């Protein structure tokens, strides 16, 4: 493969995670150290930053501040939920992207996001190829939802899983404090895939597992749910339930109807309020003390509990993207191939064709969910437990997290 010299762009897209910036740092740090890459630009708000010619010159940043990205949650370059058109239908955006790529001599494009972002990545890759513009395009995955196809798991999921399992363990202790028990319902993110809600079961490792877990992979039945909760409560005097926000009835309608009128830029239904909905039903029908807890944004931005395994792997994913691109790869997504034989976890980088991952959703296998559909199996735990290992070594300043403080100098202003 011929050597390709030029600038690179790194963009971030979709919902943020605790470690998406660790991946961005992997790209930025490696790119800055790579002779073939002449300039490193961070796109402000993902692909929108390219379209709007808002590119930060990463070479202007202080090295130490860049390193803080390893422990800075959210998407430091800014994110977007902009759905790029199909180039066959409307190539306006693509022509603009090509114009910007030419303007800055961009030969490497790294896009750091989830399912929809891999689709964006694949489309740009195809368009550049069709246009005869020599540019290597690599997707760097992130999504707490863990629903990307191909890769063993997605950067971002392990840290969210660790946050969820830790919080579940703490809530377990809190919920058992009174002599009169309660039903506690924890609402966990996950629209179509139950990886995150299933992770609550990891708290069982320290004796604090939720009693019941409901994932969107199994159709929800309110009567069976109420019977499950009542049975546990009568037996144990307490009941902790973990639910995916996306649980739905057999007809596909969401159990949470609270916010189903709103949709995001990709036409996804915005969910939320499920814990409150279920808490009210339990209160009315079983008549016990009940509390609904929505883990909300904190499960995706709680970087103080980020898994060091996740941080390391996220950084490696970004680094590998640059190395692979410089070596000639394009139209790929960086992912992981992992083994867990004999309790020994080993993770290595693997490249996947963008076309094979974009727009597919990886769900929890039915056999990793118990037959009753109200919990996960040992296979699920064996899969997820290695991922949450390792306490991160974040810097604390005055008792609070020290995040990266970037200058964000626009390249267009030079």
Task: Locate 123 and state its tokens.
Answer: 């489309």
403 with 22: CB under 8 angstroms?
Answer: no
Interatomic CA distance for residues 401 and 394, integer angstroms: 7
Among 11, 26, 73, 375, the residue binding a second copy under the rule CB under 8 A is 73
The one segment of 30-38, 72-80, 139-147, 213-221 that binds a second copy by CB under 8 A: 72-80
Contact string (CB under 8 A) for a second copy, positions 199-218, x = contact: ---xx-xxxx----------
- Cβ proximity to a second copy: between 59 and 401 the closer is 401
Residue 153 within binding range of a second copy, rule CB under 8 A: no
Contact string (CB under 8 A) for a second copy, positions 79-118, x = contact: xxx-------------------------------------
Q: Of 57, 93, 119, 145, which residue is the catalytic one? A: 145
User: Of 151, 156, 136, 109, whose CA–CA distance to 14 is shortest?
Assistant: 156
Among 166, 192, 350, 377, the residue binding a second copy under the rule CB under 8 A is 166
Between strands 55-57 and 37-43, the pairing is antiparallel
Among 48, 123, 191, 248, the residue binding a second copy under the rule CB under 8 A is 48
57 is catalytic: no
Minimum CB–partner distance for residue 247 and a second copy (Å): 20
List of residues 6+ apart from 183 with CB closer than 8 A = 229, 233, 238, 239, 240, 241, 279, 282, 286, 288, 289, 290, 291
Minimum CB–partner distance for residue 20 and a second copy (Å): 9
Minimum CB–partner distance for residue 80 and a second copy (Å): 6
- Cβ proximity to a second copy: between 114 and 373 the closer is 114
Strand, helix or coil for residue 190: coil
Q: Under rule CB under 8 A, which residues in 327-386 are in contact with a second copy?
A: 385
Reported in sequence order, the residue ranges of 274-399 that DSSP labels E, i.e. its strands, are 290-294, 332-339, 346-353, 396-397
Strand, helix or coil for residue 212: strand
73 with 140: CB under 8 angstroms?
Answer: no
What is each CA distance from 283 to 222, 288, 293, 316, in whole angstroms?
Answer: 13, 6, 15, 48
Active-site amino acid positions? 145
Which stretches of the chain bind a second copy, using CB under 8 A?
16, 44-45, 48, 72-76, 78-81, 162, 165-167, 169-171, 173-179, 184, 202-203, 205-208, 273, 276, 291, 293-294, 296-298, 300-305, 307, 385, 388-391, 396-403, 405
């Amino acid at each position: 493969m011929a050597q390709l010299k030029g600038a690179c762009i790194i963009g971030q897209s979709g919902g943020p995670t605790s470690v998406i910036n660790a991946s961005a740092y992997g790209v930025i740090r490696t790119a800055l150290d790579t002779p073939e890459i002449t300039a490193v630009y961070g796109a402000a708000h993902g692909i929108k930053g390219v379209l709007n010619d808002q590119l930060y010159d990463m070479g202007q940043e202080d090295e130490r501040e860049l390193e803080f990205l390893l422990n800075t949650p959210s998407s430091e370059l800014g994110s977007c939920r902009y759905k790029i058109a199909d180039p066959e239908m409307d190539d306006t955006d693509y022509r603009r992207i090509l114009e910007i790529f030419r303007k800055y001599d961009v030969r490497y494009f790294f896009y750091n996001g989830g399912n929809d972002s891999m689709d964006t990545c694949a489309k740009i890759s195809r368009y550049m190829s069709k246009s005869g513009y020599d540019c290597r395009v690599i997707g760097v995955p992130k999504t707490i939802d863990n629903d990307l196809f191909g890769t063993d798991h997605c950067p971002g999921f392990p840290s969210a899983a660790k946050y969820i399992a830790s919080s579940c363990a703490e809530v377990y202790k809190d919920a058992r404090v009174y002599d009169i028990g309660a039903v506690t319902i924890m609402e966990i993110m996950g629209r179509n895939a139950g990886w995150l809600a299933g992770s609550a079961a990891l708290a069982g490792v320290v004796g604090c597992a939720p009693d019941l877990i409901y994932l969107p992979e199994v159709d929800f039945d309110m009567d069976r749910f109420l019977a499950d909760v009542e049975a546990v409560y009568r037996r144990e005097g307490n009941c902790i339930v973990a639910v995916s926000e996306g649980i739905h009835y057999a007809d596909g309608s969401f159990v949470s109807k609270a916010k189903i009128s709103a949709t995001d830029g990709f036409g996804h239904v915005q969910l939320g309020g499920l814990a409150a909905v279920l808490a009210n039903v339990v209160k009315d029908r079983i008549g016990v003390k009940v509390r609904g807890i929505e883990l909300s944004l904190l499960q995706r931005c709680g970087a103080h509990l980020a898994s060091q395994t996740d941080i390391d792997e996220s950084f490696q994913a970004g680094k590998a993207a640059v190395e692979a691109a410089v070596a000639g790869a394009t139209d790929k997504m960086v992912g992981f191939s992992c083994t867990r034989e004999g309790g020994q976890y080993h993770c290595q980088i693997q490249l996947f064709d963008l076309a094979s991952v974009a727009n597919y959703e990886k769900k929890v296998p039915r056999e990793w969910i118990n037959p009753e559909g109200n919990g996960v199996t040992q296979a699920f735990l064996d899969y997820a437990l290695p991922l949450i290992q390792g306490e991160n070594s974040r810097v604390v300043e005055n008792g609070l997290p020290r995040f990266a403080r970037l200058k964000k100098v626009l390249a267009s202003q030079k």
